Amino acid sequence: MSKELIKDSLKTVKYFTEPSEALDWVEEIYNSNVEYLKTCFEGFANEDSLISPVQAFYPYVQISTKKGPSGDTRKSYGYVTRPGKYRATLTRPDIFRHYYLEQFQLLLEHHKGIKLEVGVSKKAIPLHFALGEEYHLEGSLSNKQMEKLPRLFDLPDLADLDDEIANCTFEPAADGIMPLALFTAPRVDVSLMRLKHYTATSSEHFQNFVLFTNYQFYIDEFIDLSKKLMNGDADTEYS
């Protein structure tokens, strides 16, 4: 996708009442922006001809509601508790598609009459995240190119990868838009990178839930429990 088309897409906001259609637009935005960054980087790496900075951006989903949720809200997700505007930046629809679909559907069910607003956010995609988990960026560049890199591409920034939403320290901007998710797209991307780093396994191969532990005896207990469950031991208890 050309730089001109990326700029045009920044102006494109669509509204949906069908979750799958909303997600299709999320996916198109994400894939187009990532492909643009990859194309620009390929030219830079092979020809060192890039002289102007380039940016591409994450998609976002936003809802606006004038009342609280309705229906069954016993689950701790899929709705907002009070009126307002809520937004989340999204990443990797290829591995989160099922999750996003469920969230979109629940939002529409719990907040009757709303539409899912989907567009291109102002949150830039860092180059490392666009290239993906299998790419060793530094290994393909000269020292001179490495010096130029921060001037031409957005790179991961620790100041943008905090947990202020989950830690309840988030402060809304002047527009008053509240977070629709606990983590921003770049924060999710860095978590996926960490999974690959610590396990040598790409995120696409993980199951829906990951259990972290720091003591071997926990692992031994989980293995023993799993064996009992697989053998159909009816006396197995969860604790």
Residue 11 has pLDDT above 90, yes or no: no
User: pLDDT tier at 100 (50, 70, 90 boundaries)?
Assistant: very high
With a CB cutoff of 8 Å and minimum separation 6, the contacts of 216 are: none
Q: What is the dihedral of CA 94, 207, 79, 20, to 10 degrees?
A: 30
The answer to whether 54 and 154 have CB atoms below 8 angstroms apart is: no
pLDDT at residue 239, as a whole number: 47
- Residue range 106-126, pLDDT digits in tens: 999 999 999 999 999 999 999
Angle of helix 19-47 versus helix 143-152 axis, rounded to 10:
140
**CA gap 223, 231 in Å, rounded:** 12
Strand 57-65 to strand 178-179: parallel, antiparallel, or no bridges (unpaired)?
unpaired
